[in-house]
Structure 1
Amino acid sequence: MEPTRSADELAAAFVDDVDRHGCGLIKIGVGPDRLTEDERDALRAAAVAHHATGAPIAVHLEQGAAADLVLAALDADEVDPRSIVLGHLGRNPHVEQILEAARSGAWVCLDTPSPGHPMDPARLARVLELLIDDGRLPALLLGADTTTATSRARPEEYGPAALLTTVAPQLARALGAEAVSTITRDNPARAWAFEPGDSTPEQKISPRLSATG
């Protein structure tokens, strides 16, 4: 399927969402094996919009894979890894690939269990422990990637409520309360913080598109 928008059109839409509609992040997604043409366009558009607005870029990594390809593409457009949030990395069965992604300096978001993506809670603790031992505590985030009716019907097990009331206490026993507080409170505050600009979307995006087009 051909992309319905060019990279420039998508970048303009991202900037408009941030500037006019108050969006706090730029969200894109990629598949697990390679970057398709439309995914490369989306990455380029996200980079342009990030430079125009300052908003962080959140990336859906299918199966937690392809972080290296995403990071390389965004690095080519001079995006600071500290402005990139890599989502769903915990679904990658290869822990070394998770560690490599974390060592890039990007934010690492691991999901808590959900009906669509069941996970042994002990594995989540082990992966977090490995990342902390590798010095990555300041870049760790937790997600609750589920919005299904099944999950909403069981808030004590799944979703944002369970992350704070069930998962976090379990992790605190394994990792320590201070580390879990850092992951659930301090890190999100830093990961999603940015200073919006005061020029119009057109003024901000046009020079960047000219330079990268």
Structure 2
Amino acid sequence: MSTVRTVLGDIRPEELGVCDAHDHLFLSTPQLPGQELNDAASARAELAAFRGAGGSAVVQWTPYGMGRRAADLPLLSRATGVHLVCATGLHQAVHYAPELLDELRGGPADVFVSELTEGIGTSGVRAGFIKVAGGFHALDTHARWTMTAAAEAHHATGVSIAVHLELGTGALDVLDLLCGELGVPPSRVILGHVNRSPDLLVHRQAAEAGCWLAFDGPSRAHHATDWRMPDAMRALAEAGFGHRLLLGGDTVVAGARSVDGGPGMPYLLRRVRPRLALALGEELVDRILIDNPSRAFAVDWR
């Protein structure tokens, strides 16, 4: 039976509800000094605001070694009534100290599988999917290493692999590697940030391959492309790929939270949802927020 693995345990896919399919409650990286998401009280307030706007689930894409604070996630989920799905995996090398990556040289796949099936550290929280990352229009050695490990962990567990596309680029290279060389079914691959490179032809090619396309906005940093999101999603829907679309907020710094003056998670439902409804229709937007993530993150565990 397919289930979604939340931080409080496995649930039926239909229990997930309205889902922010790509966001962050906690995140720290040397690339964003002083802008860490590390305040549990703010995280709780943000989740409560999202719940108040009609949300019921958040998928946190923060992977291994980037301040996930897994032990805090069950407390936040219980306090707010929001389902939380946690990631394992690895981001780009620039987000880590070299010594941390050196510790994983012997086999990151084993770490991924352990966090998916046994738990993250001593928290008892099990991850529900794998997050990895490509580079700008390229896959470097680190990306190939992490994606190879992710594919191995997928084959051991059946989970989905979510991919950070740098500025939305490299989608077809990612699919060539994961699905072509490494044998991951396209239906188990989620391409993130596709809105940041609004190349409608690449979007169409990726959708035709059978993967998921995650439109992650809004974002102050990517305002120049976010406004094109409704047109890009409509083009995919009209081509018959509405069942492959996901929507997320991708809050990566403290100042982006609604409780700290930014748009935050509630904006996804308060402003983005009605805007997309005008372009796509209410029924399709509901599918994108409810039905699609329940299938993208559901797993027939092996």
The TM-score, its normalising length taken from structure 2, stands at 0.61
Amino acid across the alignment from 1:167:
V
Write the deviation string for residues 98-143 of structure 1: whole angstroms up to 9, x where unpaired: 2211111000001121122214665111011100011110100011
- 1:9 and 2:107 matched: yes
Of Structure 1 and Structure 2, the greater helix share is in 1
In the TM superposition, residue 146 of structure 1 has moved relative to its aligned partner by: 1.5
Distance 1:196 1:28 in 2: 20
Distance 2:272 2:146 in 1: 33
**Matched residue, 2:200:** 95
Write the deviation string for residues 10-61 of structure 1: whole angstroms up to 9, x where unpaired: 1101101101121011110110122111211111100000010111000000
Deviates more, 1:187-196 or 1:121-130: 121-130
Amino acid across the alignment from 1:49:
A
Contact 2:130–2:161 (CA<8 Å) still a contact in 1? yes
- 1:80 and 2:185 matched: yes
Secondary structure in 2 aligned to 1:185? Answer: helix
Secondary structure in 2 aligned to 1:118? Answer: helix
Amino acid across the alignment from 1:111:
D
Deviates more, 1:158-167 or 1:130-139: 158-167
- 1:124 and 2:222 matched: no
**Matched residue, 2:212:** 107
**Matched residue, 2:134:** 30
- 1:48 and 2:152 matched: yes
Change (3 A) 1:157 1:171: farther
Secondary structure in 2 aligned to 1:138? Answer: helix
Distance 1:37 1:120 in 2: 29
Contact 1:82–1:106 (CA<8 Å) still a contact in 2? yes
Distance 2:226 2:211 in 1: 24
- 1:61 and 2:165 matched: yes
Distance 1:155 1:140 in 2: 29
Distance 1:12 1:116 in 2: 35
The TM-score, its normalising length taken from structure 1, stands at 0.85
Distance 1:169 1:103 in 2: 27
**Matched residue, 1:184:** 289
* Unmatched tracts of structure 2, length 5 or more: 1-92, 120-125
Secondary structure in 2 aligned to 1:93? Answer: coil
Deviates more, 1:120-129 or 1:188-197: 120-129
Q: How many residues align structurally?
A: 196
In the TM superposition, residue 158 of structure 1 has moved relative to its aligned partner by: 2.4
Change (3 A) 1:120 1:46: closer
- 1:146 and 2:244 matched: no
Write the deviation string for residues 74-94 of structure 1: whole angstroms up to 9, x where unpaired: 121111000000000110132
Amino acid across the alignment from 1:17:
E
- 1:70 and 2:164 matched: no
Change (3 A) 1:121 1:39: closer
Q: CA RMSD in A?
A: 2.0
Identity %: 38
Amino acid across the alignment from 2:137:
D
Amino acid across the alignment from 1:73:
L
Distance 1:157 1:119 in 2: 17
* Unmatched tracts of structure 1, length 5 or more: 198-213
Secondary structure in 2 aligned to 1:85? Answer: strand
In the TM superposition, residue 156 of structure 1 has moved relative to its aligned partner by: 9.0
Deviates more, 1:98-107 or 1:81-90: 98-107
